[in-house]
A and B are shown apart, each in its own frame.
Chain A
């Protein structure tokens, strides 16, 4: 079964540093998403991406965050100047089409630890 893959599995970074999280969505999927889950809390939406632009973003996704699809396969989340509160599990997801009933399939996540 095709999967969403994410790298690295764990990233440790000093506060204030930039970090890039990488994702390879399922190959025939057109919509891409980032979510995060702070330890012990629920999964929260960050951003959705379609046709090389952001289609929706949440209040969490401020100017410190950016997303990019640099080539035909990768989808990245960049945090410019990390804060302690950015420590969380970051999940990438993708869906085949944009129809509202299309389920989103999640990668196994990157654990981001900010020191």
Chain B
């Protein structure tokens, strides 16, 4: 089983749509969870950290379900500028590897005019 698994997409949605991405992780010892976005051939940029209680940042809402080892990202009122690859990122969690981030392969989103 992959350490971090995401649906690769692509998701093609019209402007203004709501879109949701899901991610599962295999290491129950993981303690830190993030969503990054990556534009084509650019660096990963932090979108938001994900907390157990769920958190929201403007149009973006992240949820974490530790029991199911599942993370989600909801984007409301999507904009053209939201077009990117969304990376689910988890720390490895094990002693001696706590700061290693493990990246999913990403979900590609294209927002259409």
Contacts and interface: CB of A to CB of B under 8 A. Distances in A.
Contacts of A106: 43-45
Contacts of A48: 99-100
Interface of B: 31-32, 34, 41-46, 49, 87, 91, 96-106
Interface of A: 31, 33, 35, 41-45, 48, 55-56, 58, 89, 91, 95, 98, 100-101, 103-109
Contact of B101 (A98, A104, A109): A104
A100 B98 contact: yes
6 contacts: A91-B44, A98-B99, A100-B31, A100-B99, A101-B32, A106-B43
A42 B105 CA distance: 5
Contacts of A31: 99
